[in-house]
Amino acid sequence: MSVPAPLDITVIVLSFNEAIHVERCIGRIRDHVRRVVVVDSFSTDDTIARAQAMGAETLQNPFVNQAQQFNWALDAVQIDTAWVLRLDCDEYLDDEALRWLHRDMPRLSDDVAGVELRLKVIFKGKHLRFGGYYSTDLLRLWRTGKGRVEQRWMDERTTVSGKITRARGNLVDENLNSIGWWTDKHNRYASRHVIDFMMLQHSPDHQVATKGAMLPRRARFKRFLRNRIYARFPLFLRPALYWFYRYFVLLGFLDGKLGLIWHFLHGFWYYMLIDVKIHEARQIVADEGIDGLVLHYEKTLGVALARPMANG
């Protein structure tokens, strides 16, 4: 597509050892926006060199979790554009989304503070259309100063102060790494889920959003289903029920062989792993107290956890 004048947007991309993705990510957006800033967690590959060669600004900061890193970036980048766009290195906007940005975003009313994009997951070259997965909207674009990321360890969402609308087009998530890399990542994600779960029990005020800000309606509904419905089912049974719902009720089987792999790994294995780790966490608390659990996850993730968790 031909590229009109750059939009008044700063793109912030978090990275760690993303040499496989960073050039694609930057290359697809750099001509459409005023600034691209890569905030790196001290990669050991050539992510930074590749990002700089593509024309991106770069900063580095030690990583604790996505929420803390991105909020640090919002404060450190000194954003001088009207809008902020959040991207992960393995993500990009499709052509329809880019056309929407140029055509429709400048016409948004002043009371619109945030814009959602439909998530399109491509797994090993396969667009996952079924299983409820092509129905997720993520708030990734917002007016500067109007948005912050929730202080959560996992599944953090952006909250904004003001009205939210949805763009046409897709935010494409297409990770090119191996299955081994994917399972390692989701093993870490499962540990982060458990930290949030245990913090809800021992330090309920740890998820404090920006005052006056709110989540998009669909995100609030999904959070309600997870916290008030899914959480009430017994451990180890609920992953099986969730997988059945995704794969049969929501027609995940129509995604074919790669859909079978994805929906099993992401809809059953991953959630079973979370439950196993919750069971383990409860045993650690029973044997060693909450301090023992804090120390366990500090060693597991190599980061310091907030002390209120231990004092809750």
Q: What is the pLDDT of residue 309?
A: 42
Q: Which domain holds residue 18?
A: 7-173
Residue 35's beta-bridge partner residues? 10
**Torsion sign across C-alpha atoms 119, 209, 77, 99:** positive
For residue 6, what is the DSSP state?
Answer: P
Residues 77, 47 contacting (CB under 8 angstroms) = no
168 and 305, same domain (yes or no): no
Which of 59-68, 234-243, 248-257, 300-309 is the least confident region? 300-309
The residue that leads in pLDDT, 3 or 213, is 3
21 and 140, same domain (yes or no): yes
Which distant-in-sequence residues (6+ apart) come within 8 Å of 76 by Cβ? 39, 59, 61
User: How many other CB atoms are found less than 10 A from the CB of residue 278?
Assistant: 17
Burial 219-258 (b: 16+ CB within 10 A, else e): beebeeeeeeeeeeeeeeebbeebbeebbeebebeebeee
Which of 80-89, 166-175, 193-202, 284-293 is the least confident region? 193-202
- Residue 202 scores a pLDDT above 80: no
119 and 32, same domain (yes or no): yes
What is the count of structural domains for the chain? 2
215 and 115, same domain (yes or no): no
User: Is residue 2 domain-resident?
Assistant: no
Residue 78's φ and ψ, nearest 5 degrees, are 55, 65
User: Which of 173, 206, 226 is at the close of a domain?
Assistant: 173
249 and 300, same domain (yes or no): yes
- Residue 208 scores a pLDDT above 70: no
User: Which of 173, 208, 229 is at the close of a domain?
Assistant: 173
User: Is residue 1 domain-resident?
Assistant: no
The Cα 307–Cα 269 span in angstroms is 31
Q: What is the mean pLDDT of the chain?
A: 92
Q: What is the pLDDT of residue 2?
A: 67
pTM score of the predicted model: 0.91
Rg (CA), the chain: 20
Residue 171's beta-bridge partner residues? 93, 119
276 and 143, same domain (yes or no): no
User: Which of 173, 197, 214 is at the close of a domain?
Assistant: 173
Residues 87, 140 contacting (CB under 8 angstroms) = yes
Which tens digits make up the pLDDT trace of 274-286?
Answer: 999 999 999 999 9
Which CATH number does the domain housing residue 81 bear? 3.90.550.10
65 and 165, same domain (yes or no): yes
* Residue 158 structure tokens: 């952006």
129 and 114, same domain (yes or no): yes
The residue that leads in pLDDT, 215 or 192, is 192
Q: What is the mean pLDDT of residues 56-70?
A: 96
Query: Minimal CA–CA distance to 119: which of 163, 167, 161, 156?
Result: 167
Query: Minimal CA–CA distance to 222: which of 69, 119, 104, 81?
Result: 119
